Amino acid sequence: MDIETITLITQGCKMAKDLEATLPNMATQHEYLLNSCNEIISVFIRAKERINSKAQMGVYDPIASGVAEWLSSSQTPAMHLLQAQHLLAGGPAPGSSSTSRNIVFDPKVKGVLMQDDQDLEGGAGGTLAEVVAARRGFPANMVPEVADATTSGPRGGGASSSSSQRPRRRDGAGTRVVREPAPQMGNTEIPPEDGFTWRKYGQKAILHSRFPRSYFRCTHQKLYKCPAKKQVQRLDTDPNTFEITYRGDHTCHLSSTAPSVPPPPLLLHNQLIAAQQDATLLHHISAATSTVNLTPAPPSSVLMTQWLSMDIGTGGGGQRATSNIIDLAGASITNAAAAGPSGSGLPFGRAHINVEEQPRVADMADAMFNSGSSSNNSMDLIFSSMDNK
């Protein structure tokens, strides 16, 4: 990545942060906000185009990848807002590309699909869940409704894949290899989160590799017989990059109580309402009896909390208001109230939440949105009562 691209990205980030700083005072200045957003977007688009031109040469750029990680980790509420606007406007998220497979302006999008991938970004059609998952950079096999016909179970014995790196396994079909930069902050030993919860079941030294390979399976493997697995290994040539191999599809999302694709970034309340009215979205919004399809923690619980509190103004009253919360990725929680502190694990099973159950839903929402990590998050607390074997 050349210096000009870096400069553009830096400039865009600075502009976004400046905007964020002025947001409290300028929140009502729509024209100013619009202009500012447009300026920021144009800067990132220029950066994106420069990066795309490099990426299309087929070169994985660890520096660009690192910047993507940095962008992700430093994403501000203002950035979320920009992204939300573009998401609902039908256009690509700021900084994302309809064709590229590189930097996407999203907290979760960091990966570079290396093989056996589908054009995650390119699908003009597809379900919302697919689009959202694609925008979030998830491997195609993690997108609900997208069944990989070639996928087999852990020892399914499918046909051999084209992987040249691990020719030993015959069940290579359905595997996807993603490279993601190691977190720049915090514990860099931990592979970046991908929105699902994983349980580590093994670690093994690999021949001719400096770093051991870690083996993970879906946390819900037992309960839902979810065959999804992943292997995580640091690259010998670039210790700051993880190579993550996904195997098997998540089947846990098939259950109404199971985790699914994570929700999209923060969306404004009115945008959510508008989205609700969109026929394409209604497909994903359950009707009268609202089945709660629980998801891993949102990318930014803080932001979600902010959003909930933002919404209180329109909800009226001195009490904490009821909000319509819609998980656009296929889940729905209706009339979930943002209420006080929650207790520990909530004893609900296949949750058909009625409006009358708001207090309980409120606790659940609290548990969901106050959790910080997708692993060991409150959702597991919620599920723990159900996971009794």
Chain residues that interact with DNA, rule: CB under 7 A: 154-155, 157, 160, 166-170, 198-208, 213-215, 217, 219, 229, 231, 247, 375-376, 380, 384, 387-388
Choice between 106 and 366, CB closer to DNA? 366
Q: How far is the CB of 166 from DNA (least distance, A)?
A: 5
Choice between 30 and 389, CB closer to DNA? 389
Q: How far is the CB of 185 from DNA (least distance, A)?
A: 19
Residue with tokens 């919360």: 325
End-to-end CA distance of the chain: 52
Which candidate, 315, 277, 260, places its Cα nearest to that of 130?
260
Q: How far is the CB of 384 from DNA (least distance, A)?
A: 5
Q: Hey, which residues does 336 pair with through a beta bridge?
A: 323
Choice between 50 and 217, CB closer to DNA? 217
Exposed, middle or buried by CB within 10 Å (0-12, 13-18, 19+), for 301? Answer: middle
Exposed, middle or buried by CB within 10 Å (0-12, 13-18, 19+), for 263? Answer: buried
Choice between 310 and 386, CB closer to DNA? 386
CA–CA dist 303, 196 (Å, integer): 19
Tell me, what DSSP letter sits at residue 192? P
Q: How far is the CB of 120 from DNA (least distance, A)?
A: 23
CA–CA dist 385, 389 (Å, integer): 10
Choice between 81 and 297, CB closer to DNA? 297
Q: How far is the CB of 106 from DNA (least distance, A)?
A: 24
Residue type, 146: V
DSSP 271-283: HHHHHHHSHHHHT
Half-sphere exposure of 131 (CA within 13 A, CB side): 18
Q: How far is the CB of 222 from DNA (least distance, A)?
A: 9
Choice between 175 and 286, CB closer to DNA? 175
Q: How far is the CB of 96 from DNA (least distance, A)?
A: 31
Choice between 7 and 376, CB closer to DNA? 376
CA–CA dist 356, 223 (Å, integer): 29
> What does R_g of the chain's alpha carbons equal in angstroms?
21
